[in-house]
Amino acid sequence: MKLNKPEDRYITVNELRMHYLDWGDSENTTILLLHGLMAHAHVWDNLASELSNLYHVLALDQRGHGESEWPREAFYSVDDHFCDIFTFTEALAIKKIILLGHSMGGRNALFCAACAPEKVERLILVDTRLGINPEASRALRRQLAFLPMKTKNMDEVIEALRKLYPYLKIEMCRHIAKYGYNQSDDDWFIPKYDIRMSMQIENSGYASENLSEMTKSISCPTLVVRGKESLFLSREEAHKMCNLLPMAVFKEIPGSTHIPAQENPNAFTRVLLDFLSLPGFSSVENSA
């Protein structure tokens, strides 16, 4: 399939120059895609290309990631991200939005939907945890340790991605690596994301703020997606999340771990489009 190409755009948000990708007709309903920790807006290229015939799709490089600026002080709380997302949508005069976030991006999306429910039409949480547990902490520690902080050979990055995400196709590994690293003047490849985030996570013992209370403020239909073999989000936790949300659907994506949208894109896209085609619903639907 030939991919539709996005427009590269920049906007100043909370004194940071932020980069985002823009697909489709701005007259259509807007979907904002939020990547996970250490990632970037281009991880969504395949999905956004498919959605762009029906939706106006935006993918944001969140602060400290991709082509967006890093804050002078290492301010990376969920509140900081919420301020960015809210200000971003206000600057673009977007009144209603569908929010789709993966992992860290999902936590930011959930927080946004709770704090600005009038703006969020639907919410999609992909392998997103409300809090932390020992198995997820170990998985996060492994992820941070696996991806090289400095290398002269991009094949090292590609091999690390293949080991972390065994269902990821080699082409996607190359794509993620290509947009995730910069080459310095002395030929070293270094990550585009701010490594101070990694240090903050390590200092916290790989814990994260529990967002369970925030679910009480979310009023929109929500899709909770889990990679069937994910170590970051257990099936039990996903069901618990759905029970806390007023209108939730749970789906597992086979043949995937922590990044199901990239590991099994066909299955993920089917699940997403099915959810987006549902009329508004008022009861919890925990379908496996």
Question: Structural domain tally of the chain?
Answer: 1
Inform me whether the pLDDT recorded for 284 exceeds 60.
Answer: no
Beta bridge partner(s), residue 100? 33, 124
- Name which of 230, 226, 278, 231 is nearest 253 in CA terms: 226
Any domain includes 57: yes
Any domain includes 248: yes
Q: What is the pTM of this model?
A: 0.95
- Please write the tens of the pLDDT for every residue from 122-142: 999 999 999 878 888 889 999
Inform me whether the pLDDT recorded for 171 exceeds 70.
Answer: yes
CATH number at residue 37: 3.40.50.1820
pLDDT band at 281 (very low <50, low <70, confident <90, very high): low
Inform me whether the pLDDT recorded for 63 exceeds 60.
Answer: yes
- Please write the tens of the pLDDT for every residue from 100-117: 999 999 999 999 999 999
197, 76 in Cβ contact below 8 A?
yes
Domain of 272 in residue numbering reads as 7-131+213-277
**CA distances for 75 relative to 64, 78, 83, 86, 183, angstroms:** 9, 9, 11, 16, 25
- Please write the tens of the pLDDT for every residue from 16-41: 999 999 999 999 999 999 999 999 99
pLDDT for 2 equals: 56
